[in-house]
Structure formats: C-alpha cells, structure tokens
Amino acid sequence: MDKVRILFMPPIDVGNTNAQSLNAREIVLRFDPDQLESTFWYETEPDPRLRNRPGVYLRQLPAARRTVRILREHLAGYDLIAYMDCSPASYIFLHLPRRLRRRTTTVFHAEAPSAQLDGSSRMARWLYQTGAMPKCDVHTAITDFIARDLEQMHVRTRYILPVGVDLRLFSPRPARTNKIPTVLFVGTLIERKGPQHILRAATLFPEVRFRLVGAGRDVYESVLRRSIDELGLRNVSLEGSKTQLEIVEIMRESDILLVPSRLEGIPKVTLEAAATGLPCIVFKDYQTPSVLHGVTGFQVDSFDEMVKSLGQLIADASLRQRMGLEARKHAQKFDWNVVAKTWADAYLEIAAGRRRPKDA
C-alpha cells in the first residue's frame, strides 16, 4: 500500500502546551516514515524536533484568511485528517458534498467528557455539536469511559487510543528523603481543575507542604492568592508555569500528586507523576486507567474521601514508597513507544479500510 498521508490539525509551535498538540508530536515522532506521512500546521516557530524529519511536512498558518488556507489544505487529497477540530474551516469541510471531499477520512479524537464544553462559548458548542463530533467519519476515545460518553450522544467509537509518557524523561530518583511530605498539583489554575481543593486540604494538614504549579487563567490565580492570604496558609506556594524539564524535577522532589479535577480523560500529569514514582489521588468520576485504586494511588468519590486518602499517604512513608514503585511499573504500559504503535496501527487500518464514498 502507498504511504498514508495524514493532516494533523493542532498547531505544533514549540511553545504550544495544548495537550492535543503535545500528543500529536510525540506520536508522529515515533511513526515509520515509510508507512505514514504527516503534515502539521504551525504559527511562528515549529517544534524543532519535527523540522527536516523524514515523513513530516510543515505548513505555516497565515496571519489573515486562515479559514480559506485551512480549507484549501483539507481539500488537498489527504487520506486522513486527524484531530479534527471545531474551527470554521473544519465545519465547512465536513458539510461539503462527499464528492468534493473525495476519499479523505476525518478522524475525531475524544479526550475528555463532552461536559467540558459547558464553560465554552456558544459558538464553540455549536461547532462541536453540529460539526466536528457528529460529522466525522471515525471516532476514537482516550478511555472506555469517554467512549461511553460518546455513546450517550449516539456516536460509536471504533478505537480506544490512550496517551503516553516518555519514561526516559520522567524517571524517579533513587529515594525520596523529604522530612516534610510535599503534595503537588500540576495544571492550569482554573476553577474546573479544582485548585481550591488544594487550599482546603492545606488547612487540614498545616505541617505538609503544598505546591501548585501551572499558569493562571481568567484572574483565577489572583482569587487563589487572596484565599491563601485570608486563610493564612504558609504551607502553600503558587509557582506559576514551568517547563517540562522543570516539572520533571519538581515531581522528583515531591511525594504525592493530588488531582482534584472531576472532568478529565487520562490526565497526562498522572502518567508523568507515575513514571517518576509518585502515588496519585484522583476522583473516580472519569475512571482513568492511569491510577490503580489501592495499588498506585487512590480513586475517590468525594473530597472527604480524598482527604482521608491523602492523610494515609502523608502518615505512611512506606505506603508512599510502595505505591510509587507500583506506579512506575504501571506507567510502562503507557510508554509512548508502545502507545504510538497503537495509534499507527489504527491509522493504517482506517486508511486500508476506506471505501470510495457515494456522493452526498
């Protein structure tokens, strides 16, 4: 079979920390260029790892008339368009007659519950509900839970495609020797991610250090700083955005990862923490496979249960060590080298099974 040509929609600028952009880059870096040919967008400066890489082509997004440029690329005869988004160009393409789209297969990757759109603009929700989600040819989900979420909207998921972690980069220290346990939060400082629960926990464990790492959004960081001052929390630090290498070191210096968000798919931070030997506490609402309850951490129903599990880990260094070792073992199942092959096999199968569609 000829090479499968794929257009990926997320821009891959070097400073882009969007999860889909990061995932697409890690996947394509591990593709066989003799089988899969990938094209990416960028705005100003692409990830240097993808420059001059065999089987990878880069297209710069113009400052003006982007919708026209993107739509023209959509019509360039790709076998697959992956990570189909909710842009106006994608909406137009998905509503064109089949004969104009030719044999291009569109792939929608669901990585979070649809409820995450509740805080989005009316336009974004409309584009999602009438375009990207229902109109794509093939749907994938990051977990079985997300697949069931799609089924509630009468959408069938053909593949479960998880995300991964770089085990060489995210690796544990030989031993953790903190006299005072350190609890870590990594994520965007917005209400949906639950950093306010970190502050509540900090009031209950004043002898424990709590570190919040991540950029603030919509002045929510100011809200948290005000709460820290009002509560007199001297054991909490807001540390802002960090590079990936800095996050690796912070995870190695910490003892427990606390993820108080209730709307996720597979939080990448749980895989990264597991790879560095950190036990994790998450809510079980989204049933992430990255945390094995009672083995690599805890999946809890309520904040009270989260506090109880956190107290267990704080009080028992041997439990933290045992769960951390199991977490590292579990993370090996999500090694990007393993995960990328799953994605590559799915793309090859989709391309091999496509049929010339009838005109719409």
DSSP letter string over 246-285?
Answer: HHHHHHHH-SEEEE--SS-SS-HHHHHHHHTT--EEEEGG
> Across residues 3-20, what is the average pLDDT?
93
Section 255-268 average pLDDT: 95
Taking alpha carbons only, the member of 63, 68, 14 closest to residue 40 is: 14
Taken in order of first residue, the domains within the chain and their CATH numbers are 4-164+336-353 (3.40.50.2000), 182-333 (3.40.50.2000)
Give the pLDDT confidence score for residue 217 in this predicted structure.
Answer: 84
Closest CA to 210 of 279, 310, 321: 310
pLDDT digits (tens, 9 = 90+) for 308-359: 999 999 999 999 999 999 999 999 999 999 999 999 999 999 999 874 444 4
Q: Which pLDDT band, with edges at 50, 70 and 90, does 154 fall under?
A: confident
Residue type, 238: L
pLDDT of residue 131: 66
CB neighbourhood size of 8 (10 A): 25
- Type and span of the H or E element at 219: none
Residue 87 to residue 123: CA distance in whole angstroms:
10
Contacting residues for 149 by C-beta, under 8 A, at least 6 apart: 110, 113, 114, 141
Residue 355: per-residue pLDDT: 44
| Residue located via tokens 């697949």 | 147
Name the residue among 312, 306, 313, 319 with its Cα closest to residue 201. 306
- Looking only at the bridges linking them, the beta strands covering 182-186 and 256-259 are parallel
pLDDT at site 133: 76
Q: Name residue 346's amino acid.
A: A
- The rounded distance, in Å, linking the Cα atoms of 184 and 112 is 22
Query: CB-based contacts of 183: which residues, under 8 Å, 6+ apart?
Result: 198, 201, 205, 208, 209, 210, 211, 254, 255, 256, 257, 258, 310, 314
CA distance 208 to 214: 20
DSSP state of 324: H
Using left for φ > 0, alpha for ψ between -120 and 50, and beta otherwise, residue 219 falls in: left
Mean pLDDT, range 144-168, rounded to an integer? 93
- pLDDT(96) > 90: yes
**Residue type present at position 304:** D
Q: Range with the lowest mean pLDDT among 115-124, 136-145, 291-300?
A: 115-124
Count Cα neighbours of 26 within 13 Å in the Cβ-side half-sphere: 23
Residue 240, by phi and psi: left (phi above 0), alpha (psi -120 to 50) or beta? left
Question: Which pLDDT tens digit goes with each residue over 102-139?
Answer: 889 999 999 988 777 666 677 667 667 776 778 899 99
**Residue 233: what residue type?**
L
Residue 289 has pLDDT above 90, yes or no: yes
Closest CA to 56 of 101, 12, 107, 2: 12
pLDDT tens-place string over residues 160-216: 999 999 999 999 998 888 999 999 999 999 999 999 999 999 999 999 999 999 998
User: What percentage of the chain exceeds 70 in pLDDT?
Assistant: 94
Question: Is 90 exceeded by the pLDDT of residue 44?
Answer: yes
Structure tokens at 297: 């951490």
pLDDT at residue 358, rounded to an integer = 41
Range 71-81 average pLDDT: 96
Cα(first)–Cα(last) distance of the chain, in Å?
A: 27
Per-residue burial over 178-211, b if 16 or more Cβ lie within 10 Å, else e, is eeebbbbbbbbbbebbbbebbbebbeebeebbbb
Mean pLDDT of 260-265: 93
Residue 41 in this model has a pLDDT that exceeds 90: yes
Minimum mean pLDDT among 9-18, 32-41, 224-233: which range?
9-18
Q: Are 278 and 257 in contact (CB under 8 A)?
A: yes
What burial class does residue 219 get, using C-beta atoms within 10 Å of its C-beta: 0-12 exposed, 13-18 middle, 19+ buried?
Answer: exposed
Q: Are 80 and 4 in contact (CB under 8 A)?
A: yes
Residue 68 has pLDDT above 60, yes or no: yes
- Angstrom distance (rounded) from CA 26 to CA 11: 13
pLDDT at 39: 98
The pLDDT, as a whole number, for residue 357 is 46
